[in-house]
Every structure is written in C-alpha cells, then in structure tokens.
Amino acid sequence: MEINEFGKDAPLSTKLISGAEYISQFIEKKCFPNVFLVTGGACAFIVDAIGENPNLNYTCFQHEQSAAMAADAIWRTREKVGVTISTSGPGATNLITGIACSYFDSIPALHISGQVNQNESREFIKADVRQAGFQETDIVSIVKPITKWAHKVRSIEDLVESLDKALKISMSGRKGPVLLDVPMNVQKESIHLDRIAEILTNKTWEETNKTEIISTNLLNEFLFDSNRPIVLIGAGAGLTGSTPNIQAWCEKNKIPFVTSWGAMTYVERSSKLYLGSIGVYGNPIANWAIQASDRIIVFGSRLDNRQRTGSPKGFAPFAKKIVLDIDDQELKKFANDESYTTILFDLSHVNDLLEAKVDYTHEVWRNELDKIQNIISDGIENSVPVGNLNPYFGMRAIQKKFKEKAIIVTDCGANLCWVMQSYLPDSTYVFSAFGNSPMGYSLPAAIGAQIANPDKEVFCFIGDGGLQMNIQELQTIDYYNLPIKIVIQNNFGYGIIKQFQDSYFGSRYHGTGVGYSTPNFRKIAEAFNFQYIAVKTLEDIENLNLTNTKVIIDMHLIPGALITPKTEMDRFIHDQFPYTNSEVIKLLPYGYPEKPSQLNSL
C-alpha cells in the first residue's frame, strides 16, 4: 500500500488521521465500497468515519447476522471483499453464523467489531472476571475456530499493520473470513501519515503456503490404463478461476465430468460431457458414473459427507482417486484409504498440469454413459402425487422467467435441494452457503448480491421456515428499494426434516409440523410494501409477469412434497430414493453389495 493513497490534501509530516478514519480509508482503497453494519456505541467512531467518507457507502441491516451473510455474497458475485462493522458484545456475536458461512465455503470477508476502551477491559483491571466493560465480550476467542485470523488490536500502529495483514490472510491460499476487534480508544487515537508509511514499508505478513512439486505428466500417467475415467470439479476450482481451463481440458480429451453443488455454477452445464452434480442429493446419472468409474480426478473438492455420504468407503470403492487441493488438512482425511492419492496443489496453477497431452481415446465409456442417461430416472416426478404442484417443475417454470445473467440465491433444506436438483443449463449464476447452510441465508445474501450488482436481476429462493429466520430484512429491501424477487417454496413446515422423520421416526412430526407455524405471508408482504403473488399451479407460474420491482411469490406446495432423489442411510449414492433405477444399477461394472456396510465382507 502506498502512503499517497491517504491524506492527499496535506503534507505527510503534518497530516494526522484517527484510527477510525484509517479504517474508513483502508476499506475505500482495498475492499467493496459499501459497508454492511448495525451501529452501536463501541463502533460509533468507525461508522461516523465511514459516513463522512464521500467515497464510501454503508447499508444498515436489521441484524448483524444478515450483514455478515450479505458481505459473504459480495465476493461470490463480484470477487471483492465484503466488510461488516458491528458493536461489541451481542453485536459481534450476532455475526457468527454469517462468518461460518464464509469460512466453510472459503469466502474472503473482513469483519470489524468495536470493543470497549482498553482501560475498561478485563485485561486492564487484571482480574479474571466474566466482564468488566459494558458489553465486553472476547469475540476473538469465540470466532477463532471459524476465521483464518482473528485479532484484538492493541494500538493504532497495530491497527495499521493488522488491517493489511488481515486482508492478505483472507485472500491467500484457501481463502476465508478474518475479524479485527478494535477498542474504542484505538478508534479515537491519531497517527501521522509518515508513520503509516513506515509501518507498511515492512512486510506485515507473507504467504507461506507450500505446494508439492509434481510432474506435468501426472494426469497422463494416472489415466494410462483407465477405461472409465471421470473428472470431479469442486468449488475450489471455481474460486480460483480454473474451472474453464479444466472443462476445456475435459472437452479436448473427451473425458466426462461432474461437479459438486458449489462448483455447478462455474461450468458450462450444456456440455454433452457434463453429467451433473454428485452426492446424497446428486443427479442419478452423475452418481452412476462415479460409481462405475475406474479413475477419478478431483479438482478442489473436499468430498464431504453430502458427496460421499456418511459411509465414505462406499464412494467409488473400486476406483483409484487422485485429489488435488490447497488445504493439507482436507487431504489428511484420505490418509488411511489406499485408493486415494492426494496432492497439495494450488489450482490457480492448474494449467501447468493441463498442458500435457492425455493419451485417452476410448469411446466405449462415453457411449455407455449415453445409453445409461437415456434410461435412468431422475425421480423428480415422484416428489408429489399427480395433480399437485411439483416443486421441481415449479422451479423450472420460474427459471424460464430469469433474465440473462441473473443471480440466483438459494437457501437450505428442501428448498436448496429442489432448486439445485432441477436447475437447467442457462447463463445465470447460482449460489448458496453450501457448507454451513443456515436457514435464512438467501435473503440477506440476495441483498448483498443486489447491492453489488445493481444492473442484474436477483432471485431469492427460500422456504417458509427460512424466511422467518431473517424476515426482518424485508425492511432493508424496502428501505433501499431493492428489486429482489423472493420465491417462497412454501410447504408449511420443515420439509427436509419431515422426510427424515418419515424414514426413521414413524412420521412423527415433532417440531416440523406439530408446534411449527407460518404467518400470513400476504399480510407480511403488505406490511413491508412488497407486491405479493400466490401461485398454486404450474399455470399460475407460467402466467407470472415479473417487473423490475420487489415481489414475494408464495409458491404453495403440499406439506408432504418430497426431495427426490435422495440417498438414505447406509445406501450407495447410485441407489437413491425413490428406488426407481434397480435395473440400471445392475449395469454397473462392479459387484456392489446392497449396502456400504457390507463392503468389508467382499
């Protein structure tokens, strides 16, 4: 950072700025220039400095959780670092769920919390009391497990160094959120600009990520004797911008590929070689191909239990797998499985691997997959009895209403599954907080996406339960007049848990139907000045006439609408509910037992 970025109006030797002003100017130069916040006493100096900076804007949310979720959406849709400001105590702790969303999905974000004056703190009085200053809370210790770096600032010099360090850490290696806790006295303290230059002349932090040196002929060697190879593209590939090159390599060498949900939006899904997403709720053809393969190349996917199920040994047990990932801790998961080869690798350099020619020419595998794709059932017609609005068909009907390059944010549970499983190829960008997957994420994330992309159409897909988790942010949308389209996939309950209760609790709907309730969403829409449209049939959706204004579309589904397909406990991913593909399973080239737990007996 060059010192002439700050204080251009005065000589360096005489110009002083406060800690709060420095934070404001740092955000202006280095981050997305709209800060998401809920103000409070301990952060008031920072908020004032941001408000007085003519080159910055701020957006007031109704809850800090929403501010953090909206900041998460900034990087996902603009590749700029989103920033939140919160006060101490409850203001800071309210950020936690949103921070976790960024951490698990490797999204950079900068969170700045105000803190009590140092002379009012527990450290100052040197007593192990629970709290000294009003609302004093050790937020740094609380969020350390879900941030790449969390730090309590000790002085204004420390502030200058720590802001630079925090942003670098957030953006390096496997990206993620950071938090700085700034006491009020540091916010008020002043510093000379020439002292800032002196601090920043020294390196505040250097990236130490080390990757393995590997042969550029690695992939060719791995596929040398393969008859049924497949490539799995994860979100790590998408976040490094390497997905187009990986897909081009697959197309050049005629190798089929699949994705995780997190990577789905980064590939050209209209490709004939793309088979869909894999996992518990994956596309049946993609799952079948994974289970039939003999070689799997995994680019940037952590292969969590929504991909490999809770019985990971049942995931492609007869195939050799090679996993390339930047996180050595993720790779340790595979240490005891000889079918995995792991390589610590930064996918931003993936072109070094893709330059080598692959001697793979087999057409039998591709022809076999074409045959299977024509006869395998995706099961989505089994979601509801005939005559009811099917959530999958409803989603596809609404998808036809999307404008070019629209941004689609989806929530969690059944809502997430219905959107991701039925999503057809188009030019839109779709995302969610896939790892943390909290109820209510998509509403504030849609706000962040709309603010960051005012020229694009933004849709928020959410369940009736999810909307109630952050329903207060309808006021934020109304106040800032954001033209967000909210689609409530309203099944009048917690559908994904009800389906779990159907399988394992004799359809006893405690907490999901019994005791759960929904408000009158028409009245909610009226209270927040939204247009309200109830849709109960496919024809209602097809007749929608959407304009450039905020609207709530209340899609009425039956309470028993199911997620189909779905892999249940101790089942292989090729054997999914509603179990309509038994004949296709027989065509797998390996002798699978009925359940993963029976593999040891083979």
Residue 355: pLDDT band (50, 70, 90) is: confident
| pLDDT reported for residue 135 | 82
| pLDDT reported for residue 14 | 55
CATH topology of domain 218-375: Rossmann fold (3.40.50)
| pLDDT reported for residue 290 | 98
Q: How far is CA 534 from CA 33, 243, 519, 538, 551, in A?
A: 37, 39, 14, 12, 11
**Residue pair 416/463 in contact by the 8 Å Cβ criterion:** no
Q: Which residues contact 145 (CB under 8 A, 6 or more apart)?
A: none
| pLDDT reported for residue 124 | 77
Would you tell me how many other CB atoms lie within 10 Å of the CB of residue 472?
17
Query: Rounded to whole angstroms, how far apart are CA atoms 205 and 161?
Result: 9
Structure tokens at 478: 């109304």
Query: Rounded to whole angstroms, how far apart are CA atoms 414 and 512?
Result: 13
The reported pTM is: 0.95
- Say yes or no: do domains 3-201 and 218-375 share a fold: yes
| Single-letter amino acid code for the residue at 146 | I
Average pLDDT over residues 446-454: 98
Structure tokens at 74: 């900034």
The answer on pLDDT for 10 being more than 50 is no
Percent of the chain with pLDDT over 70: 96
> DSSP secondary-structure letter at 402?
P
441 φ/ψ angles, rounded to the nearest 5 degrees? -65, -45
H or E, element range at 179: strand 177-183
Determine the angle formed by the axes of helices 96-104 and 64-78, rounding to 10 degrees.
30
Lowest mean pLDDT of 90-94, 133-137, 466-470, 564-568, name the range.
133-137
The partner residues of 182 in beta bridges, in order of sequence, read 114
| pLDDT reported for residue 209 | 66
Task: Give 299-319 pLDDT, tens digit per residue.
Answer: 999 999 999 999 999 999 999
Q: How far is CA 339 from CA 294, 335, 411, 591, in A?
A: 10, 10, 35, 17
The answer on pLDDT for 359 being more than 80 is no
Lowest mean pLDDT of 213-227, 338-352, 410-424, name the range.
213-227
The partner residues of 192 in beta bridges, in order of sequence, read 16
Residue 12: pLDDT band (50, 70, 90) is: very low
Structure tokens at 407: 């941004």
**Residue pair 6/22 in contact by the 8 Å Cβ criterion:** yes
Structure tokens at 323: 């996993």
The answer on pLDDT for 27 being more than 90 is yes
Residue 13: pLDDT band (50, 70, 90) is: very low
The answer on pLDDT for 11 being more than 70 is no
Query: Rounded to whole angstroms, how far apart are CA atoms 473 and 273?
Result: 41
Pairing between β-strand 190-192 and β-strand 16-18 as defined by DSSP bridges: antiparallel
The 10 Å CB-count burial string (b at 16+, else e) for 132-141 is ebebbbbbbe
Query: Rounded to whole angstroms, how far apart are CA atoms 408 and 255?
Result: 29
| pLDDT reported for residue 26 | 98
Task: Give 16-26 pLDDT, tens digit per residue.
Answer: 999 999 999 99
Average pLDDT over residues 329-334: 94
Complete DSSP assignment for 226-284: -SSEEEEE-HHHHHTT-HHHHHHHHHHHT--EEE-HHHHTTS-TT-TTEEEE-STT--H
The answer on pLDDT for 368 being more than 60 is yes
Query: Rounded to whole angstroms, how far apart are CA atoms 574 and 564?
Result: 13
Query: Rounded to whole angstroms, how far apart are CA atoms 70 and 73?
Result: 5
Question: 380-556 maps to which CATH number?
Answer: 3.40.50.970
The answer on pLDDT for 7 being more than 60 is no
Q: How far is CA 10 from CA 6, 19, 192, in A?
A: 10, 17, 11
**Residue pair 20/31 in contact by the 8 Å Cβ criterion:** no
CA dihedral 134, 138, 142, 145 (to 10 degrees): 150
Average pLDDT over residues 196-215: 78
Q: Which residues contact 515 (CB under 8 A, 6 or more apart)?
A: none
Report the SS3 class of residue 210. coil
Q: Exposed, middle or buried: residue 555 (CB in 10 Å: 0-12, 13-18, 19+)?
A: buried
Percent of the chain with pLDDT over 90: 86
Would you tell me how many other CB atoms lie within 10 Å of the CB of residue 575?
23
| pLDDT reported for residue 212 | 75
| pLDDT reported for residue 358 | 73
The answer on pLDDT for 377 being more than 60 is yes
| Single-letter amino acid code for the residue at 406 | A
Query: Rounded to whole angstroms, how far apart are CA atoms 234 and 457?
Result: 26
Residue 143: pLDDT band (50, 70, 90) is: very high
From the options 3.40.50.300, 3.30.300.30, 3.40.50.970, 3.40.50.1010, give the CATH code of 3-201.
3.40.50.970
> DSSP secondary-structure letter at 67?
H
Average pLDDT over the chain, rounded to an integer: 93
Report the SS3 class of residue 330. helix
| pLDDT reported for residue 131 | 77
Residue 127: pLDDT band (50, 70, 90) is: confident
Average pLDDT over residues 254-270: 96
Nearest to 73 by CA among 42, 100, 107, 47: 107
Nearest to 435 by CA among 105, 46, 203, 182: 105
Query: Rounded to whole angstroms, how far apart are CA atoms 408 and 279?
Result: 21
The answer on pLDDT for 205 being more than 80 is no
Report the SS3 class of residue 527. helix
User: Domain residue spans in the chain?
Assistant: 3-201, 218-375, 380-556
Query: Rounded to whole angstroms, how far apart are CA atoms 90 and 233?
Result: 39
What does R_g of the chain's alpha carbons equal in angstroms? Answer: 26
